[in-house]
Amino acid sequence: MSEIKNLPKNFKYIFSQKDIRLIETETNIKFAKISNSYTSSANFRKVSEVQSNFTTLSVYGKLQEDRWEFSIVMNGFRNELLPKVLEEEIKNEIKNGITNFINKVGKSKETDLYKNPELWNIVTIKQNRSEISWKEFNR
């Protein structure tokens, strides 16, 4: 089920529907729900050490009987927060992070005690370089 809303001009999501379909193919899953959350109105700060910092998406897992079901929530942001020269590298790193998370949770055992695992992605641009960070939760 897809519920991604259109964003105002000059805003975007980290992944298009096509990108999400590729992630589904690579991980051999189908997201139960694809939706959006908030849209950051932050601006790129050219003369600051931290030029931009924003959450791109989160992935949620839920155990349904004997299999994991995953949903993805996309956050919108201004185009300028993600410099074009870094975009492909960042998108690939985020795809790899999602794939690793889905594989880790999907192969988990009962003793790993996963209940409702979540993965959040944060992108920071510092001095024209990207830093990708992740937060994992198990609620």
Domain ranges across the chain:
11-138
Q: What is the pLDDT of residues 63-121, one digit of tens each?
A: 888 889 999 999 999 999 999 999 999 999 999 999 999 999 988 877 678 889 999 99
When pLDDT is averaged across residues 10-35 and rounded to a whole number, the result is 93
Please name every residue paired with 137 in a beta bridge, in sequence order, or none if there are none. 118
When pLDDT is averaged across residues 45-71 and rounded to a whole number, the result is 92
Q: In terms of Cα–Cα distance, which of 58, 66, 57 is closest to 106?
A: 66
Tell me phi and psi for residue 79, to 5 degrees: -50, -40
What is the C-alpha separation between 11 and 9, in angstroms, rounded? Answer: 6
What is the C-alpha separation between 51 and 44, in angstroms, rounded? Answer: 6
Q: Are strands 117-126 and 50-64 parallel, antiparallel or unpaired?
A: antiparallel
Q: HEC profile for 43-61?
A: CCCCCCCEEEEEEEEEEEE
Please name every residue paired with 64 in a beta bridge, in sequence order, or none if there are none. 67
What is the C-alpha separation between 122 and 131, in angstroms, rounded? Answer: 8
Task: Calculate the alpha carbon distances from 35 to 27, 49, 86 in Å.
Answer: 19, 32, 25
**Is 90 within 8 Å of 134 (Cβ atoms)?**
no
What is the C-alpha separation between 41 and 79, in angstroms, rounded? Answer: 10
Give the pLDDT confidence score for residue 115 in this predicted structure. 84
pTM of the model: 0.90
Give the pLDDT confidence score for residue 1 in this predicted structure. 52
Give the pLDDT confidence score for residue 47 in this predicted structure. 85
